Amino acid sequence: MALWMENRSEPLTEAEKADLEAIAAIKESAAIELKEKGNEYVKKGKKHYSEAIDCYTRAINQKALNDSESSVLFANRAHVNLLLGNHRRALSDAQQALNLSPSNIKAIYRAVKASLSLNLLAEAQEYCRKGLKLDPNNEELKRLDRQIRTKISEKEKLEAEVSRAISEAEELVSAIENRGLKIGKAMYRELTGLKKPVLDKNNILHWPVLLLYAEVMSNQPLPWDVENNYKRDFVELYYEAGSGVRLSKEKLLHCLLEGTAASHVDDEEKDAVEDFKHTAGSPKWIKVNEKKTLQDILKEPNFVIPEIPEDTQELTELPPNVWRTLGPLPPVKSYIKEKDKEEEANRSAAQKKSSRTES
């Protein structure tokens, strides 16, 4: 029988031809039946999607249908894979369908949907273009085309923001290195958030500063300082030396990118930043020479800036009325002057109120 025939060069007999035609008809009938069965399973709902895929797969494996009909089988399986969220498989099936029949508009639609779900925007746009060329009035493809254009616009905007954030961070790292400053891991991040130094257009470096009153573990103003111990004339300035490890250029860059559009870039490298550990050596307090500039202090070889300068004010474990500081003085001076002005204004207002009451 033709079923057991091996490949040969001799022409087939009429009987063999008849056998082959009969086998082909059986396989074609089986493929059509499996296709219809698969369609029924799809209509029954999600619980039967896997059975639908099995039917379409068995129908495809019959290899008994022409290209156009086989394209429908692949497009149908792509549809079920989309319903199941198997977007990569759906795209593969849609591509197979289009290889067999480039004008299969349903296969094009499913290729667009799968590509869009995989964030393959260029591919989705190209499939959409082909579909609208075949069917310019297809409303579903028009809707997807608008969606793709929106996503491409958002992607380009994000890429521009990432590029700008990286450029600004790189300029900031260069400015820090050119000034001979050493940056370590941030301390008290729960209080400082993601505040970072800023380099302005005049190449001036601006530092945010955290004022931390260690006696009461507060960073609020000084209403509790009823004895006025923290007046500028009563304090000395210190910074803590040897309390941290300098970050590498790469790690510093990733620290500065945190909280920006580029914060997702190279997550492994950012994880390495989190592994930062302080030195095993004992830190010590160094008295600040107030004749020096802020930059002079920040450049001290034993001073590692904990990402942003942090001022700690204490009156313990040091002579009375001594201010220990991890960072620059100028913002502190400014704050105290403003505080003095505020207290003077409050006293003046109280005196005026008292005078009105007496009269």
Residues 243 and 129 in one domain: no
Residue 34 C-alpha from the chain's centroid: 45
The answer as to whether 121 is a domain residue is yes
Of 151, 166, 188, which one is at a domain's C-terminal end? 151
The answer as to whether 269 is a domain residue is yes
The answer as to whether 237 is a domain residue is yes
The answer as to whether 88 is a domain residue is yes
* pLDDT confidence of residue 213: 59
Residues of the chain with pLDDT under 50: 1-4, 9, 267-280, 312-341, 357-359
* pLDDT confidence of residue 274: 39
Residues 104 and 216 in one domain: no
The tokens describing 147, both together, are 């969606």
- Do 95 and 101 touch, CB atoms closer than 8 A? no
The answer as to whether 167 is a domain residue is no
Residues 87 and 186 in one domain: no
Residues 129 and 59 in one domain: yes
The answer as to whether 52 is a domain residue is yes
Residues 188 and 330 in one domain: yes
Residues 32 and 121 in one domain: yes
Of 107, 136, 151, which one is at a domain's C-terminal end? 151
Residues 273 and 324 in one domain: yes
Distance CA(328)–CA(298), nearest Å, equals 8
* pLDDT confidence of residue 266: 54
Residues 315 and 187 in one domain: yes
Residues 212 and 333 in one domain: yes
**Location of structure tokens 């992607």:** 155
- Residue 63: which CATH number? 1.25.40.10
Determine the structural domain holding residue 63 and report its residue range. 13-151
* pLDDT confidence of residue 10: 57
- Do 211 and 313 touch, CB atoms closer than 8 A? yes
**Location of structure tokens 């600004």:** 168
* pLDDT confidence of residue 214: 54
Question: How many CA atoms within 13 Å lie on the side-chain side of 271?
Answer: 3
* pLDDT confidence of residue 345: 61
Helix, strand, coil share (%) of the chain residues, nearest 5: 60, 5, 35
Residues 40 and 125 in one domain: yes
The answer as to whether 342 is a domain residue is yes
* pLDDT confidence of residue 342: 53
Tell me, what amino acid is at 317? E
Of 132, 151, 170, which one is at a domain's C-terminal end? 151
The answer as to whether 337 is a domain residue is yes
Residues 107 and 220 in one domain: no
Number of domains, the chain = 2
Residues 224 and 313 in one domain: yes
